[in-house]
Amino acid sequence: MRRSRLKRGCIKRRRLFRSVPVRRVVRALLAASLLIAALFAAHARASAQTAGTSSLMSTPAGWPSTGAVTGFTGLALDPLAIYLNPAGLAVQDERSLLVHHGMLQFQTTWDLAAVSYPVPGLGGIGLGFARIGTGGIEGYDAQNRPTGSMSYRETAAAASVARKVRGPLWAGATFKILGQSLGDVSASAPAVDLGLLFRPVALRGGQVGLSVQNVLAGSLDLGGVTPSLDRSYRLGLGGPEWRLNALSAARVVLDLATRGKEGMKPRLGAEFTRAGLGSLRAGYAEGGPVLGLGLRFRRYGFDYAYQSGKVEATQQFALRLAWGVPISRYDAQRIVELRKAAVDSIRVQRAAEIALDRDKAEVSEKTGDWETAFVLWQVLERSDPGRPMYPARAERARIEIERSAQAAIAAESGRRLCRTLADMARLALARGDAEEATGLMRAILASGAAGAVPRDTLAILERDVASVRDRASAAALARADSLWAKARAFEAADQVALALRLTPEDPRARRRWSELQTSMGKSAAEAQILGRKLDALTALNEVARAFAEGRYTDASAAVQRALALDPASPEARDWRDRIQRRLSTPKPELDARIKQLYIKGMEAFTSGDYREALRNWEQILVLDPLNESARRNVLEARERMKSEARR
Residue with the bigger pLDDT between 545 and 365: it is 365
The C-alpha angle 499, 443, 474, rounded to 5 degrees, equals: 15
Q: What is the DSSP letter of 567?
A: T
Q: Give the single-character DSSP code of 2.
A: B
What single string gives the DSSP state of each residue in 106-133?
GG-EEEEEEEEEEETTTEEEEEEEEEEE
Helix (H) or strand (E) holding 59: none
- Nearest residue to 343 (alpha-carbon basis) of 335, 39, 414: 335
pLDDT at 170 exceeding the cut of 50: yes
pLDDT classification of 26: cutoffs 50, 70, 90: very low
Query: Which of 35-49, 114-128, 147-161, 368-382 ranks highest by mean pLDDT?
Result: 114-128
Going by C-alpha positions, the residue among 509, 525, 485, 519 that lies closest to residue 537 is 509
Instruction: Output the DSSP codes for 164-196.
Output: EEETTEEEEEEEEEEEEEETTEEEEEEEEEEEE
In this structure, is the dihedral angle defined by the CA atoms of residues 504, 509, 515 and 520, taken in order, positive or negative? negative
Kindly report the length of the chain. Answer: 647
The predicted structure's pLDDT at residue 448: 64
- Residue 283: which H helix or E strand, with range? strand 278-285
How many other CB atoms are found less than 10 A from the CB of residue 190? 13
Q: Is residue 70 within 8 Å of 21, Cβ to Cβ? A: no
**Residue % of the chain over a pLDDT of 70:** 83
Q: Is 614 helix (H, G, I), strand (E, B) or coil?
A: helix
Of the ranges 191-200, 327-336, 400-409, 542-551, the best mean pLDDT one: 191-200
The strand pair at 248-259 and 10-11 is best described as unpaired
- Which of 108, 158, 154 minimizes the C-alpha distance to 128? 158
Close Cβ partners of 340 (under 8 Å, ≥ 6 residues apart)? none
The pLDDT of 611-634, averaged and rounded, is 79
Q: What is the pLDDT of residues 206-251, one digit of tens each?
A: 899 999 998 888 887 766 556 778 888 999 999 898 888 888 999 9
Q: What is the per-residue pLDDT for 625?
A: 67
Interatomic CA distance for residues 259 and 487, integer angstroms: 161
Higher pLDDT, 410 or 350: 350
More confident residue, 585 or 66: 66
CB 250 within 8 A of CB 270: yes
Residue 52 pLDDT: 40
371, with CB counted inside 10 A (0-12, 13-18, 19+), is: middle
Question: How would residue 118 be classed by pLDDT, with cut points 50, 70 and 90?
Answer: very high
| pLDDT of residue 96 exceeding 90 | yes
How many CA atoms does the CB half-sphere of 508 hold within 13 Å? 15
Residue 448 and residue 415 in contact, taking contact as beta carbons nearer than 8 Å? no
* pLDDT score for 46: 28
Query: In sequence order, what are the residues at sequence separation of 6 or more whose Cβ sits closer than 8 angstroms to the Cβ of residue 555?
Result: 542, 543, 546, 547, 575, 579
Q: Give the pLDDT score at 7.
A: 31
User: Mean pLDDT over residues 12-23, rounded?
Assistant: 35
User: From CA 390, how far away is CA 201, in angstroms rounded?
Assistant: 63
Report the 10 Å Cβ neighbour count for 535: 15
Please tell me the predicted confidence (pLDDT) of residue 582. Answer: 65
Residue 320 has pLDDT above 90, yes or no: yes
**What is the DSSP secondary structure assignment for residue 94, as one 8-state letter?**
S
DSSP assignment, residue 246? S
β-bridge mates for residue 175, sequence order: 159, 192
**Residue 166 to residue 180: CA distance in whole angstroms:** 38
Per-position DSSP letters for 445-481, written without gaps between them: HHHS-GGGS-HHHHHHHHHHHHHHHHHHHHHHHHHHH
Q: How far is CA 314 from the centre of its chain?
A: 60
Rounded CA gap, 617 and 369, in Å? 28
Distance, CA of 536 to CA of 530 (rounded, Å): 10
Instruction: Give me the mean pLDDT over the 126-137 stretch.
Output: 87
Per-residue pLDDT of 285-310, as tens digits, reads: 877 889 999 999 888 999 999 988 77
470-501 pLDDT tens trace: 888 888 888 888 887 777 777 887 788 878 77
